[in-house]
Amino acid sequence: MATTYKLASQIEERLLERNQLFERFFSREAPRLAEACREMSERFLRGGRLLAFGRGPYATDAQHVSVEFVHPVIVGKRALPALDLSVLFRPWIEAILRPEDIVMGFGPPEGDPEVWATLQEAHRQDAMTFALPGVEGSYAVDAATQDPFLHQEMIEILYHTLWETVHVFFEHRELGHDVGESAFLYPFLGTEKQGTSGLVAEVASSILMKVRDDTKLREQLAREESEQISSSAVAIHERLRLGGKLILFGNGGSATDANDFAIDCVLPPPGYQSVPAVSLSLEPANITAVANDIGTDAIFLRQLIAQARPEDIAIGISTSGGSRNIIMALEESRKRNLLTVALLGYDGGEIKRKGLADFPVVVNCDYIPRIQEVQASIYHVIRESLEVLSRGQA
């Protein structure tokens, strides 16, 4: 109990620490990001594509940005062409790049020279480039922190704001008036025709509003869920001591979070110990085979049946708390006596109501990008806590 209480205090501090850093960064960057959104919208309208890549945990950012643009969660918004090229990014860029494309490279706080070299080549061919981080490109940004987890969370907020706000420029250019169904996201944009220059300033303000929404959610999470997060980390640590492994799964953007969490375990930052983990969302052949032959509800269940041992930990990530394939995997995990953890949004959904997780952690919000941004903070502080516990520092 004393360990859990001390760890909870550390977790609360770490969650709140992020807010000041993130608000300071986006206060500086919001105007540049708004301009970048404007140029992205022009390139998409000319037939450009978003080509993203990274290595290690940063490949999951490329996965995430790709799925957000291709499969928008804002009802009525267009699907935009995007690809994750991480598996072989330099040859792929050389083979398919067009001048109207947008190329986005992800890396650790210190940067990745291989990513930079590919971005430079794309820039020479007139593509728009994002160096995240970097010093050269259409949009390049220095890392605001050397902490890899905080850096990655900040970059996730950045590309979510790009995805959300590029649609504002589409609608403004094509309709010449209000922002339509997305008006609830931009309450200050009114219904009068506006010039693009004025819109850029208003979009910059909307970016800051989004970051402040995250701040409120993290404050609430720190206040209400720190002890639950601490208890889940302690329980996971005990299972790992018994020889267990983490089994992670999620859909869409949550799939990329499951992948990132697993990679953070097996390829951790310098000084961390490796933790055994697998992501069922990293198995496209298994997922498509099961979806084709049985159905999408079974894509994680079938894999879990093959992979799970009684000492393992099942961690489902769901913004809604109601994804049928997550529910079925957690139900099976219960039957097999696995420890179950769920990272959830909204009110926790059916997963919480049915008590399918020993440790449900809920981000009390109904907007998916903000849920995912705060869920990234949750699994990163769990990963940090596992390291603290392994060293006996809690």
Indicate the domain borders of the chain.
Answer: 17-213, 218-390
Name the fold adopted by 218-390.
Answer: Rossmann fold (3.40.50)
172 or 348: whose pLDDT is higher? 348
Query: Which pLDDT band, with edges at 50, 70 and 90, does 188 fall under?
Result: very low
| Mean pLDDT lowest among 155-164, 181-190, 292-301 | 181-190
126 or 169: whose pLDDT is higher? 126
pLDDT at residue number 186: 40
Helices and strands, number each (H, E), in the chain: 12, 10
pLDDT at residue number 75: 67
Query: Which pLDDT band, with edges at 50, 70 and 90, does 196 fall under?
Result: low
**Cα–Cα distance for residue pair 167/189, rounded to 1 Å:** 13
Round the average pLDDT of the chain to a whole number and report it: 93
182 or 102: whose pLDDT is higher? 102
Summarised one tens digit per residue, pLDDT across range 255-268 is 999 999 999 999 99
Query: The domain 17-213: what is its CATH number?
Result: 3.40.50.10490
Summarised one tens digit per residue, pLDDT across range 37-65 is 999 999 999 999 999 999 999 999 999 99
Same fold across 17-213 and 218-390: yes
Record the tokens describing residue 308, joined without a space. Answer: 């799970």
Summarised one tens digit per residue, pLDDT across range 285-318 is 999 999 999 999 999 999 999 999 999 999 999 9
Summarised one tens digit per residue, pLDDT across range 74-121 is 767 889 999 999 999 999 999 999 999 999 999 999 999 999 999 999
* E strand intervals along the chain: 50-53, 82-84, 102-106, 128-132, 139-140, 246-250, 277-279, 313-318, 339-344, 359-362
| Mean pLDDT lowest among 18-27, 69-78, 216-225 | 69-78
**Cα–Cα distance for residue pair 136/210, rounded to 1 Å:** 27
Summarised one tens digit per residue, pLDDT across range 314-363 is 999 999 999 999 999 999 999 999 999 999 999 999 999 999 999 999 99
Nearest to 340 by CA among 239, 227, 261, 223: 239
The rounded percent of the chain whose pLDDT value lies above 90 is: 87
In the block, tokens 């961690």 appear at 315
CB-CB contact of 232 with 342 (8 Å): no
pLDDT at residue number 198: 77
CB-CB contact of 219 with 19 (8 Å): yes
**Cα–Cα distance for residue pair 52/66, rounded to 1 Å:** 7
Record the tokens describing residue 145, joined without a space. Answer: 């922190």
CB-CB contact of 244 with 311 (8 Å): yes
Q: Phi, psi (5° rounding) for residue 340?
A: -120, 130
The number of CA neighbours under 13 Å toward the Cβ of 175 is 13
Residues in the chain: 394
The number of CA neighbours under 13 Å toward the Cβ of 361 is 32
pLDDT at residue number 195: 53
Task: Indicate whether 185 pLDDT > 50.
Answer: no
